[in-house]
Structure 1
């Protein structure tokens, strides 16, 4: 999978061979339990361990402004996307872990694989934000009754930091030098305000209050009928 992202105004190409989603990646165990409880209301079984890394086909990453989903039971979540380039240099961007919530009650892994993962068009070098990582803010909005409604709002202090996630990566995604080159990982999310629900459009943001900048992600859904 080839991604084209703007890094400090410079067009940069990334080749992605591996994609993982870090689930249940909250730093505060109370927050993790809150998210587990959110999904339990939808019939999702609790994880066997936390964090848990789900593998997904890199072809599921998309920078399209409109994505197709099957049925009306899916929703998005704003997440930091970590990218290791061919030289293992790390970058951060923004993605949505769009997930089929109906299928999730059967299998979280299957629900992750079936939906595309919309991705922003900009990235930052990790070293630029690492010193103030916990101050970065992750947020999103959804559309309800024609109005924009706040859906997520939290800082990355609520989530496991990058060094901790990298230490816990499964062996398939790392070697003795760390994360494998050309690997991308969604790094967890903050709770939904008012509960998880579908929307015809989704807007996410990753805001850096120290360097006064943000990465945005906007996409809409085309719902395909479920033929029986």
Structure 2
């Protein structure tokens, strides 16, 4: 179960379905940039864009200390849509933390290996939809004992909500909306300086119009890989 605070209180939802939108950039040049980033790590290019990778609901976590197998994983901040039991859609952020070594073998399999940290604050989608493109994604990592900006961009770089939902598999749709008790990660912006791991990841969704933000951070406890 995920629990969120919002401007008027809290709500909880038992998640049934989770999907992660891959290659979801609005600008095809940006999509190609991300494909090239991952190709440099040995990841096979996608057959089509966007793709929707499924992961089990058990991979979602709101904890700030997360265990991961090995040290080849890295996070990506993504806008995250959450449909509650009544089908109302909320907006938060999540990290599509992915094992990059396994990603070179199979993207879908690599996404299933790592937990997906989710923030504890959400906004109603209808409060931000009119200025969706102005929302900002930001992430930071720890590198050489310093905090550095890892990602920075706006949602204008990614496919809009309507375009993502109309491309969703039928099992995840509810008419023109997201099926109740579902989570959709909506894609990411490029990493500054290339994709690389870090033991700490901090992410933010910033609303410059309503002057508010959602923040979440997590620390990774690396589990030893034995053979």
TM above 0.5? yes
Query: How many pairs align?
Result: 227
User: Which stretch of the first structure deviates more once superposed, 125-134 or 4-13?
Assistant: 4-13
**Distance in 1 between the 2:38 and 2:206 partners?**
26
**Distance in 1 between the 2:86 and 2:75 partners?**
31
Q: Unpaired segments of 5 or more residues in structure 1?
A: none
2:31 paired residue number: 32
Q: Unpaired segments of 5 or more residues in structure 2?
A: none
**Distance in 1 between the 2:47 and 2:214 partners?**
33
Give TM-score, length-normalised by structure 1: 0.98
**Structure 1 residue 178 displacement after superposition:** 3.7
Distance 1:175 1:4, change over 3 A: closer
Following superposition of structure 1 onto structure 2, how do residues 134-145 of structure 1 map, counting pairs within 5 Å? 134-145=133-144
**Structure 1 residue 59 displacement after superposition:** 1.0
**Structure 1 residue 177 displacement after superposition:** 5.3
Distance 1:72 1:210, change over 3 A: same
Give secondary structure in 1 for the equivalent of 2:63: coil
1:93 aligns to 2:92 (yes or no): yes
Structure 1 moving runs of 4+ over 4 Å = none
**Distance in 1 between the 2:101 and 2:162 partners?**
33
Question: Cα deviations across residues 121-165 of structure 1 (Å, max 9, x unaligned)?
Answer: 100000000010000000100000111000000000000000000
Give secondary structure in 2 for the equivalent of 1:122: coil
Distance 1:175 1:13, change over 3 A: closer
2:4 paired residue number: 5
Question: Cα deviations across residues 74-131 of structure 1 (Å, max 9, x unaligned)?
Answer: 0000001101111111100011000000000000000011100001110000000001
2:108 paired residue number: 109
8 Å contact 2:80–2:91 — kept in the other structure?
yes
